[in-house]
Amino acid sequence: MMKLNKILYLIIFISLNTYSQRIFEENGNRKFSDTLNIQLLHKVCDNLRIKFSNVYTYKSHSVSLQADKTFFAIQYIIKNTNDGDLYTTKYLFADNASGQVIDHVDDTIHYYSQEAVQPSPSYILKNPIQLSENISGIGVITEESAGSCATLYSQQRISIFTLSKNKIKEVLKGYPIRKTQGESNCSGSYEIEIFEKSIELTTEKTKGFFDLLVTQMFTYEKVVEENLNENKAGKKTVKNKTEFQKLTFNGIDYNFKKDEY
């Protein structure tokens, strides 16, 4: 009975405190901006003194905010080293007419081109995120993964950027929304843990921004393939768990524990 009451409470809590719109859809169904304003990017690179040839254009995207501004998420080479090219992602707002950079910030995570773990393109969510009645943010989802059939590792993070008084602010910084980790024999047997989150805006506010309701789903899956030589049947084990938490704005950004995974 207590378990039923807890479930009913969660359903009522979610229905009373959230909008119908999620910040992003589940993995595989998200809507991203698939454009990159190359002409404006040339001007941006000139103003930042970045060689255009050092930009990974196939891993970069942009989205037009208003008639006069564009937001970019560009991956570019910082320097060449003996360990390969060192590169990161730069987030910026630019003036559409001049290409003048209004403000910009680099991701704190850097990669070498020869590392086993590599990032995917930086994907900008197509729809803005309404953080308050007057302020909307731009959501960017990044992912890194290991290019190995034996190591089942990938991690997705979301960051939310705003522009206030011509200053870029990262109000949600690299929040983990999906992670897979496990091992495989590169055939039919594997063992994997999957953490996945959905985020919704609530009607409650803290320091002027809407609180974020996070639903975290944990899945453990183990598959042992059939072995005909040893006359052993295949076996599949699946365990699921769901948890809820709330992220609140502290006046600077949305706080969360860095060691959630």
pLDDT in the model for residue 17: 47
| Cβ–Cβ under 8 Å, residues 115 and 84 | yes
Per-residue pLDDT of the chain (261 residues; tens, 9 = 90+): 545 544 544 444 444 444 446 888 777 677 898 899 999 999 999 999 999 999 999 999 999 987 899 999 999 999 999 888 999 999 999 999 999 999 999 998 999 998 888 999 999 999 899 999 999 999 999 999 987 888 889 999 999 999 999 999 999 999 999 999 999 988 888 899 999 999 999 999 999 999 999 999 999 999 987 776 766 777 888 999 999 999 999 999 998 987 655
pLDDT in the model for residue 145: 93
Domain residue spans of the chain: 2-247
pLDDT digits (tens, 9 = 90+) for 85-95: 999 999 999 99
For the chain, the 3-state helix, strand and coil shares in percent, each to the nearest 5, are 10, 55, 30
pLDDT in the model for residue 16: 43
Which DSSP symbol is given to 225? -
| Cβ–Cβ under 8 Å, residues 97 and 70 | no
Distance CA 192, CA 224 (A): 12
pLDDT in the model for residue 260: 55
Q: Of 72, 71, 70, 79, give the one whose Cα is nearest residue 50.
A: 79
Distance CA 89, CA 110 (A): 8
pLDDT in the model for residue 147: 79
The dihedral region occupied by 174, where left means phi > 0, alpha psi between -120 and 50, and beta the remainder, is left
pLDDT digits (tens, 9 = 90+) for 193-240: 999 999 999 999 999 999 999 999 999 999 987 776 766 777 888 999
Distance CA 73, CA 50 (A): 14
Distance CA 207, CA 255 (A): 12
pLDDT in the model for residue 22: 84
For residue 11, the Cα-to-chain-centroid distance in whole angstroms is 26
Q: How far is CA 70 from CA 37, 100, 229, in A?
A: 9, 11, 61
Q: How far is CA 85 from CA 44, 102, 115, in A?
A: 21, 27, 10
Beta strand 136-146 with 84-95 is unpaired
